[in-house]
């Protein structure tokens, strides 16, 4: 039975995972469009409509949290707690707007990942093992991402860098808001041992209550707790997950999401390139590869983009909309080439380490442009 726990403490050493979570997300979105709210308690509410005050709090900014206002409490209670604060703001949910803000922030973040997985509206995982190569480079990358997100959307986020998703999620929550926490593989188990078991994603109030009855309060207690006893109480699957998690072990992969929204291929150049001509052979191969992927899915594309990752780990991106949706390789290749030429010219002296080609704005290619493309007139 013990055979299901096969992982040693160093089995995660080869991965570098990042978890990004936007701070007080819905309330921060409201602050973006009304900067005068920043200094006031902001409470985003899900009004049920029965009476003026019925419903629950969706989230609140950190000013409001100081008064004990948080997700899930009744609006009536929130109003009570803020009764002496005359400038408190209560707002209804605007999900469409929050999705837009999320979309633009996610598209900035996703460019930094080898693999990118969006989880819900305000968080995502990045596998940056190859991109970063080391935990110190990963920390630098995390700072770049925070800056880039701020520059593009003005949002603050909190990031956890760790050898797996579970520790990344614990890390992003540790120093909120605007936090950055790095949990290195060697110190993972020690750094979580003193925390409450509920810090482990998936362990809610119910499970933690049962664990407490068994004398388990901290993650360290859980790591030491007898596995066979735990299997008796929680079943094999949950017990194995908790037993591993408590030791800082989690093998869940980062699963790419949104493959339909974009097709992207990235290649590491044999040596850093300073001119676009040096990159032409790689560019050609990348174009072939994304073209094939789109063709396999019978998708025509409206936007061609390139991504250059520099020796500084900075990203340079450029894209161009085609006049007509295309399924034509030549038009893709020529467009990508002209974007690359322009991008290198504009960027000034650069050293390009990795190059990417991206297609987006897809339509099913069974549509009306097929004939034009077939005749070589499309896109």
DSSP 3-state assignment of 135?
helix
Give how many residues touch ligand DCP by CB under 6 A.
Answer: 13
CB-count exposure of residue 332 (10 Å: 0-12, 13-18, 19+): buried
Instruction: Determine, following the binding rule CB under 6 A, whether residue 177 of this chain makes contact with ligand DCP.
Output: yes
CB-count exposure of residue 72 (10 Å: 0-12, 13-18, 19+): exposed
Which positions from 23 to 42 touch ligand DCP by CB under 6 A, shown as an x/- string? xxxx----------------
Task: Report the partner that residue 187 touches, choosing among Ca ion, ligand DCP, none (CB closer than 5 to 8 A by kind).
Answer: none
Instruction: Determine, following the binding rule CB under 5 A, whether residue 250 of this chain makes contact with Ca ion.
Output: no
Asked if residue 330 lies in contact with residue 378, where contact means CB atoms within 8 angstroms, the answer is no
Nearer to Ca ion, 108 or 273 (CB): 108
Of residues 103, 117, 123, 212, which has the active-site annotation? 123
Task: Report the partner that residue 26 touches, choosing among ligand DCP, Ca ion, none (CB closer than 5 to 8 A by kind).
Answer: ligand DCP
Asked if residue 25 lies in contact with residue 153, where contact means CB atoms within 8 angstroms, the answer is no
The token pair that represents 61 in the structure block:
């900014």
Q: Which of 88, 85, 77 is nearest to 41 (CA)?
A: 88
Minimum CB separation of residue 160 from ligand DCP in Å reads 12
The token pair that represents 365 in the structure block:
């290619």
Q: Which of 17, 20, 45, 59 binds ligand DCP (CB under 6 A)?
A: 59
Asked if residue 208 lies in contact with residue 197, where contact means CB atoms within 8 angstroms, the answer is yes
Nearer to ligand DCP, 120 or 376 (CB): 120
Strands 157-162, 17-22: pairing is antiparallel
Nearer to Ca ion, 23 or 282 (CB): 23
Nearer to ligand DCP, 25 or 116 (CB): 25
Nearer to ligand DCP, 35 or 120 (CB): 120
HEC profile for 49-68? CCCCCCEEEEEECHHHHCCC
Nearer to ligand DCP, 124 or 223 (CB): 124
Q: Which of residues 88-127 bind ligand DCP (CB under 6 A)?
A: 122
How is residue 58 annotated by DSSP? E
Which positions from 198 to 217 touch ligand DCP by CB under 6 A, shown as an x/- string? --------------------
Q: Which of residues 9-28 bind Ca ion (CB under 5 A)?
A: 21-22, 25
Stretch that binds ligand DCP, among 18-26, 124-132, 204-212, 370-378 (CB under 6 A): 18-26
Task: Report the partner that residue 177 touches, choosing among Ca ion, ligand DCP, none (CB closer than 5 to 8 A by kind).
Answer: ligand DCP
Which secondary structure element, helix H or strand E, spans residue 181, and what is its range?
strand 180-182
Asked if residue 249 lies in contact with residue 9, where contact means CB atoms within 8 angstroms, the answer is yes
CB-count exposure of residue 171 (10 Å: 0-12, 13-18, 19+): buried
Phi-psi region of 27 (alpha: psi -120 to 50; beta: other; left: phi over 0): alpha
- The span from the CA of 58 to the CA of 258, in Å, is 26
* Angle subtended at Cα 194 by Cα 191 and Cα 197, rounded to the nearest 5 degrees: 105
Q: Which of 15, 17, 43, 58 binds ligand DCP (CB under 6 A)?
A: 58
Q: Is 36 a catalytic residue?
A: no
Q: Which of 323, 343, 371, 315 is nearest to 149 (CA)?
A: 315
Give how many residues touch Ca ion by CB under 5 A.
Answer: 5
Instruction: Determine, following the binding rule CB under 5 A, whether residue 117 of this chain makes contact with Ca ion.
Output: no
Instruction: Determine, following the binding rule CB under 6 A, whether residue 71 of this chain makes contact with ligand DCP.
Output: yes
Minimum CB separation of residue 30 from ligand DCP in Å reads 10
Stretch that binds ligand DCP, among 22-30, 73-81, 209-217, 274-282 (CB under 6 A): 22-30
Nearer to Ca ion, 123 or 373 (CB): 123
User: Which spans of this chain sit near ligand DCP (rule: CB under 6 A)?
Assistant: 21-26, 58-59, 71-72, 122, 176-177
Active site residues: 123
User: Which spans of this chain sit near Ca ion (rule: CB under 5 A)?
Assistant: 21-22, 25, 122-123
């Amino acid at each position: 039975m013990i055979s299901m726990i096969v992982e040693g403490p160093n089995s995660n050493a080869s991965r570098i995972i990042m978890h990004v979570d936007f701070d007080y997300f819905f309330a921060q979105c409201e602050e973006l469009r009304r900067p005068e709210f920043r200094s006031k308690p902001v409470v985003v509410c899900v009004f049920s409509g029965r009476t003026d005050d019925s419903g629950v709090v969706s989230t609140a900014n950190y000013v409001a949290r100081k008064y004990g206002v948080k997700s899930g409490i009744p609006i009536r209670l929130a109003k009570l707690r803020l009764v002496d604060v005359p400038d408190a703001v209560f707002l209804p949910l605007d999900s469409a707007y929050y999705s837009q803000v999320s979309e633009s922030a996610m598209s900035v973040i996703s460019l930094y990942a080898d693999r990118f997985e969006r989880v819900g509206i305000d968080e995502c995982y990045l596998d940056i093992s190859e991109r970063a190569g080391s935990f110190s480079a990963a920390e630098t990358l995390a700072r770049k991402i925070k800056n880039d997100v701020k520059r593009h959307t003005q949002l603050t986020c909190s990031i956890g860098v760790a050898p797996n998703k579970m520790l990344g999620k614990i890390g992003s929550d540790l120093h909120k808001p605007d936090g950055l926490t790095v949990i290195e593989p060697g110190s993972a188990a020690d750094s979580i041992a003193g925390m409450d078991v509920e810090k482990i994603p998936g362990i809610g109030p119910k499970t933690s209550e049962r664990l407490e009855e068994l004398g388990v309060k901290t993650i360290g207690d859980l790591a030491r707790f007898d596995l066979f006893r735990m299997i008796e109480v929680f079943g094999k699957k949950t017990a194995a997950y908790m037993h591993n998690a408590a030791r800082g072990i989690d093998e869940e992969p980062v699963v790419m999401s949104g493959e339909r929204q974009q097709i992207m291929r990235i290649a590491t150049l044999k040596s850093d390139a300073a001119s676009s001509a040096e990159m032409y052979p790689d560019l050609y191969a990348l174009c072939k590869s994304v073209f094939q992927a789109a063709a396999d899915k019978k998708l025509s594309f409206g936007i061609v983009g390139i991504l250059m990752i520099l020796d500084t780990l900075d990203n340079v991106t450029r894209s161009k909309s085609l006049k007509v949706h295309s399924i034509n390789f030549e038009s893709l290749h020529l467009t990508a080439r002209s974007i690359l030429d322009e991008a290198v010219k504009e960027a000034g002296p650069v050293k390009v380490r990795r190059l990417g080609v991206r297609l987006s704005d897809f339509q099913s290619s069974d549509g009306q442009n097929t004939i034009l493309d077939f005749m070589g007139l499309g896109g």
